[in-house]
Amino acid sequence: MSDRDRVRPRAVAAGEPAPDRLGGAPEQQEQTATDGGTAVAGTDAPVGRRGREPGDAPRPADGSPAALTPPAETGASPAGVAAGGEPVATTETGWRRGLAESLAFLRRRMTGEYEVDDFGYDADFTDHVVVPPLKLLYDKWFRIETVGLENIPDAGGALLVANHSGTIAVDALMTAVAVREHHPMHRPLRMLGADLVFQTPFMGPIARKMGNTLACNPDAERLLSTGELVAVFPEGFKGVGKPYSQRYRLQRFGRGGFVTAAMKTGVPIIPVSIVGAEEIYPLIGNLKPLARALGFPYFPVTPTFPLLGPLGAVPLPSKWIIEFGEPIPTTGFGDNAADDPMVVFNITDRVRETIQQTLYRLLLRRGHPFLG
């Protein structure tokens, strides 16, 4: 008998890497091809060399073991692996990861291993407590579509100027989620709010932890000069509290203080147009005496509030579109241009007109406010 006839493929020991299909010794490759079997880890003989035992699965007509048929040929995939070979996250894995992240968050809160800046911005708290429920509203309830996120710079300061509406300032929160979750650099948005926002129990401290601050030029200029994205809503309560009959008609933009802040820091102004917020709490009335008694700028009456009590606080699921327009430069106007009322007025009017025309266009694109 020749040496070639005496060669038999050996079994691969457990823990020993199996030889490559074409990378083993020539004798093993030739014998495997001749015998029609391959060695399997932890067995005493190569597969294909033994006889059929009772209880074995039937073999295909070609004689190959059914157990070795690749999943791609049978249409089945191994557990946790997609048809294309990509790993699939199981429910258990997601549950364990979520629990681990929650425990790590609690440990950081207890040990103080988190940072808060001079404005009270707590990124750890914002990411783990504030953003997750807002993302559900953003994705599932309002089904928000964003346009023009590429107009927001990847780094450096910029002032986002948006229309304001909706009875409750949900539009500001959704704009912050859009930038934080969908911009390529996931940048935080520092919003400027009215004094009432920060004086309100519970809401005020959370607004601070999200990095928001008072709508005043010193705070705005300080944030912009350090390269932050800042958002302002010049209509203020006039926009949020306007009746539903005036929806998507911009109110007065004030005296252009936001333009002055942008010009002094040399950052661009990005017009932001938000369609969808007007329908979440349609304002059909305003109880002014009650508003004055409570110190509010208005007390809203909507189709569901106060008629339905706490249920009236559930926003209607309107379809939203948020468009970030092309940046408007604030440089090149000469020295002391920020103190020139005509220059400031012209830029303010340009920003306002850009947002208004974009709102009209987006309304036509969206169509029905709830079926889109």
| pLDDT tens digits, one per residue of 170-221 | 999 999 999 999 999 999 999 999 999 999 899 999 999 999 999 999 999 9
- Kindly state whether residue 148 falls inside one of the protein's structural domains: yes
pLDDT tens digits for 101-124?
A: 889 999 999 999 999 999 999 999
Residue 352 lies in a domain: yes
Residues 239 and 347 in one domain: yes
Residues 148 and 4 in one domain: no
- Does some domain include residue 25? yes
In a domain, 106, yes or no: no
Contact partners, residue 52, CB within 8 Å, separation at least 6:
59
How far is Cα 177 from Cα 296, in angstroms, rounded to an integer? 27
Q: What mean pLDDT is predicted for residues 334-357?
A: 94
Together in a domain, 331 and 202: yes
| Residues 16 and 163 occupy one common structural domain | no
Separation of alpha carbons 312 and 19, rounded Å: 68
Q: Are residues 18 and 133 in the same domain?
A: no
User: Which residue range is the domain that position 2 belongs to?
Assistant: 1-35
The total number of structural domains that make up the chain: 2
> What is the three-class DSSP state of 265?
helix
Q: Is residue 265 part of a domain?
A: yes
Instruction: Give the pLDDT confidence of 245-284 residue by residue, as tens digits.
Output: 999 999 999 888 999 999 999 999 999 999 999 999 999 9
pLDDT (tens digit, 9 = 90+) per residue, 129-163? 999 999 999 999 999 999 999 999 999 999 999 99
Same domain (yes/no): 355, 209 = yes
Q: What is the rounded average pLDDT for all residues in the chain?
A: 82
pLDDT (mean) for 38-44: 41
CATH number of the domain enclosing 243? 3.40.1130.10
- Same domain? For 203 and 331 the reply is yes
Residues 24, 127 within the same domain: no
CA atoms of 177 and 187, how far apart (whole Å): 10
Specify the pLDDT at position 130: 95
Burial of 133 (0-12, 13-18, 19+ CB in 10 A): exposed
The 10s digit of each residue's pLDDT in 353-363 is 999 999 999 99
Contacts of 333 (CB under 8 A, 6+ apart): 263, 340, 343
Does residue 10 form part of some domain?
yes
Please report which confidence band the pLDDT of residue 346 belongs to, taking 50, 70 and 90 as the band edges. Answer: very high
Q: 349 and 234: one domain?
A: yes
- Does residue 289 belong to any structural domain of this protein? no
Query: Is residue 291 assigned to a domain?
Result: no
Single pTM value for the model: 0.74
